């Protein structure tokens, strides 16, 4: 086999820092800083940016300023801006934004994401709903979003392991993924929420899911909690996956392992992709600038290995 011969020519990096990263941030980050962070990510050429989450403001106070953030970011043509939307109330807030923006014609968001799990216990603890109930909740969300012309992604969390149940069978992941596609979701983000995956497991789970969904519908979302994220990305690339999630600087500690690394860092991902000769359209040094900006606001060095090497 040849690694080189099996690699795609181009990969889409899906930036989750402003949402998945910041939702775990303890200290309050001012709206202005979030807007600037997102604008710097746009300037770095990230093709998709998940900018916030329209959850109930009380549940994640850090993201209670979703409307403000979306209204104030400088959107760039060609970049897809998305937001997590847990329910119909959340979607109403998104469509409300569209109405207020209707004057200039440019929609501030082009897509939404819904969130469920492959593990029943995680779903109940995280969203206070069974997996079946999460589907009931976002069935109308997906259909209304599609009617409004929005692109829709579905997260399948704990697809490689659950902090409560341990191993998660490939069948559970496949069922949730195919159900999401039936409801009209365009992309399924198979997620290693607690950062336990290793490459052979990626092959096993993603192979099984792709048999049902097709590989082109799958995005991979890794956390680098145990350092395996880039090895898992390599396994995904060899399987034909071409969309990978990451967060600038590696923002987003794991709530189940305080102090541990969070999402795979965008810098580390892009460094490897470019080293593999894969096009991303991203300016790596500008991602470092975005991370640097936020690290000053947070008063904390980013977890990204590449970042640490680049600034030292």
- List residues binding a copy of itself (CB under 8 A): 1-4, 6-7, 195-201, 203-204, 224-231, 233-235, 238, 254, 257-261, 265, 268, 271-272, 275-277, 304-306, 308-309, 312
Beta-carbon count within 10 A of 22 CB: 25
Could you give the maximum distance between any two Cα atoms of the chain, in Å? 55
State both tokens at 59.
Answer: 């549940």
Please, which residue, 64 or 276, has the CB nearer to a copy of itself?
276
Main-chain phi, psi angles of 152, to 5 degrees: -130, 130
Radius of gyration of the chain (CA): 18
Beta carbon of residue 228, minimum distance to a copy of itself (angstroms, whole number): 5
CB 152 within 8 A of CB 112: yes
Cβ proximity to a copy of itself: between 67 and 224 the closer is: 224
How many angstroms from the chain centroid is the CA of residue 12?
Answer: 12
26/133 Cα distance (integer angstroms)? 29
CB of 33 to a copy of itself, least distance (A): 24
Size of the chain, expressed as the number of residues it contains: 312
- Phi-psi category of residue 52: left, alpha or beta, with phi > 0 → left and psi -120 to 50 → alpha: beta
- Residue 191 and residue 155 in contact, taking contact as beta carbons nearer than 8 Å: yes
Least distance from a copy of itself to the Cβ atom of residue 203, Å: 5
CB of 141 or CB of 197, closer to a copy of itself: 197
Min. distance of Cβ 5 from a copy of itself in angstroms?
Answer: 10
- Of 254, 264, 273, 287, the catalytic one is 254
Between residues 53 and 228, which has the closer beta carbon with respect to a copy of itself? 228
Nearer to a copy of itself by Cβ, of 4 and 26: the residue is 4
Please report how close the Cβ of residue 311 comes to a copy of itself at its closest, in angstroms.
8
Give the span between the Cα atoms of 198 and 196, in whole angstroms.
Answer: 7
Token pair belonging to 199: 């490459």
Residue number, 94 or 168, with CB nearest to a copy of itself: 168
Cβ distance 293 to 37 under 8 Å?
A: yes
Catalytic, 254? Answer: yes
- Distance, in Å, from the CA atom of 94 to the CA atom of 66, rounded to the nearest integer, reads 9
Q: Token pair for residue 240?
A: 């034909």
Closest approach of a copy of itself to the CB of residue 25, in Å: 17
Q: What gap in Å lies between CA 52 and CA 41, rounded to an integer?
A: 14
CA gap 229, 251 in Å, rounded = 14
Cite the active site residues: 254
């Amino acid at each position: 086999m040849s690694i080189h011969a099996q690699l795609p020519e181009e990969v889409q990096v899906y930036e989750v820092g402003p949402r998945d990263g910041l939702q775990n941030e303890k200290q309050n980050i001012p709206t202005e800083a979030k807007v600037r962070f997102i604008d710097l990510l746009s300037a770095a050429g990230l093709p998709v940016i998940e900018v916030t989450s329209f959850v109930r403001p009380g549940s994640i106070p850090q993201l209670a300023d979703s409307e403000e953030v979306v209204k104030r970011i400088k959107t760039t043509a060609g970049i897809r801006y998305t937001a997590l939307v847990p329910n119909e109330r959340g979607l109403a807030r998104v469509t409300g934004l569209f109405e207020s923006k209707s004057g200039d014609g440019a929609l501030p968001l082009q897509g939404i994401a819904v969130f469920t799990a492959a593990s029943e216990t995680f779903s109940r603890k995280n969203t206070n709903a069974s997996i079946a109930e999460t589907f009931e909740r976002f069935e109308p969300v997906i259909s209304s979003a599609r009617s409004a012309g929005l692109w829709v992604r579905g997260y399948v969390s704990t697809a490689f392991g659950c902090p409560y149940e341990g191993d998660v069978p490939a069948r559970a992941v496949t069922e949730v993924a195919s159900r999401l596609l039936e409801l009209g979701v365009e992309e399924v983000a198979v997620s290693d929420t607690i950062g336990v995956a290793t490459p052979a497991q990626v092959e096993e789970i993603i192979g099984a899911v792709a048999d049902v969904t097709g590989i082109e519908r799958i995005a991979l979302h890794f956390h680098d909690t145990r350092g395996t994220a880039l090895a898992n990305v390599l396994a995904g690339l060899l399987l034909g996956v071409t969309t990978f999630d990451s967060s600038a600087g590696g923002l987003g500690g794991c709530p189940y392992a305080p102090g541990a690394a969070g999402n795979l860092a965008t810098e580390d991902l892009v460094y490897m992709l470019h080293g593999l000769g894969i096009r991303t359209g991203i300016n790596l040094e500008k991602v470092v600038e975005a991370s640097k900006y936020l690290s000053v606001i947070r008063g904390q060095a980013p977890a990204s290995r590449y970042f640490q090497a680049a600034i030292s």
